[in-house]
Amino acid sequence: MTESRRERERRARRQEIISAAKEVLSRKPFNEATLEEIAERAELAKGTIYGYFKNKEDLFISLIKQEFDSWRRAVEPALDEGLAPRERLRIMTEAVLRYHLDNLDLYKIYLTHMGFIIIPKEGMLHEYQRIINDCLKKAMEIYREVIISCQKDGLFKDKDPQFLTLVYQGVIQSVIMGWMMGLIDKPIPKLVEDILELLPESS
């Protein structure tokens, strides 16, 4: 069991580093965030990080993957196909908002690195850019799946699902940004209601 303790400690330390990185990366883009600062925040020497991650990029990728998994788990309930589509949309919207508003750092990272979604593949794309891209695509697919199920149920009848998905994502983003900027502070269920009301009904 001694072995087990060491492993536990190792995992904990690894997590501390990821958390430190998360905080720093929420304020600075990848290239501006220094390992020095991350190490400092984790109260470690710079070199120590390399015992846990292959390099700066690996650390960042691990962070993104972990956070995306966590986001995905939060949204999972909305994937239950047994639920009514409209209910799935409500659950999803609430889960997404709650997740991000409880965890603003992640969203800041997303915003800070959003440029990477768009940047054309000039030269080699950094691995971490690919990862971010993947996560975004997966998130969009989830949105789209739920939206399509709503359409099958008669909502937003004649609109292009791609377009609807984009708009949905844009509205969510606006709300989160508004919250971040202190322009909005309603409780989450109220926000969800407001958002759903905005969506074009089929009727």
Partner DNA sequence: GATGAATGAGGGTTCATTCAT
Partner DNA sequence: TATGAATGAACCCTCATTCAT
* Calpha distance 148→100 (Å, rounded): 23
Q: Is 1 in the site for its own copies (CB under 8 A)?
A: no
- The answer to whether residue 163 forms part of the interface with its own copies (CB under 8 A) is yes
Classify residue 14 by burial, with Cβ atoms within 10 Å: 0-12, 13-18, 19+.
middle
Run of H or E residues at 180: helix 161-180
Is 175 an interacting residue with respect to its own copies (CB under 8 A)? yes
- Rounded to 10°, the helix 35-42/2-25 angle is 130
Interface stretch with its own copies, choices 4-12, 78-86, 88-96, 109-117 (CB under 8 A): 109-117
Instruction: Identify what 56 binds: DNA, its own copies, none; CB under 5 to 8 Å per kind.
Output: DNA
Contacts of 114 (CB under 8 A, 6+ apart): none
Tell me the residue type at 132: I
Would you say 93 and 176 are in contact if contact means Cβ atoms under 8 Å apart? no
**Residue 124 lies near its own copies (rule: CB under 8 A):** no
Which range, of 58-66, 71-79, 84-92, 179-187, touches its own copies by CB under 8 A? 179-187
- Rounded to a whole number of angstroms, the minimum distance from the CB of residue 149 to its own copies is 19
Question: Is there binding between residue 170 and its own copies (CB under 8 A)?
Answer: yes
Q: Which residues of the shown chain bind its own copies in the complex (CB under 8 A)? A: 26-29, 31-32, 108, 111-120, 122-123, 159, 162-163, 166-167, 169-175, 177-178, 180-181, 183-184, 194, 197-198, 200
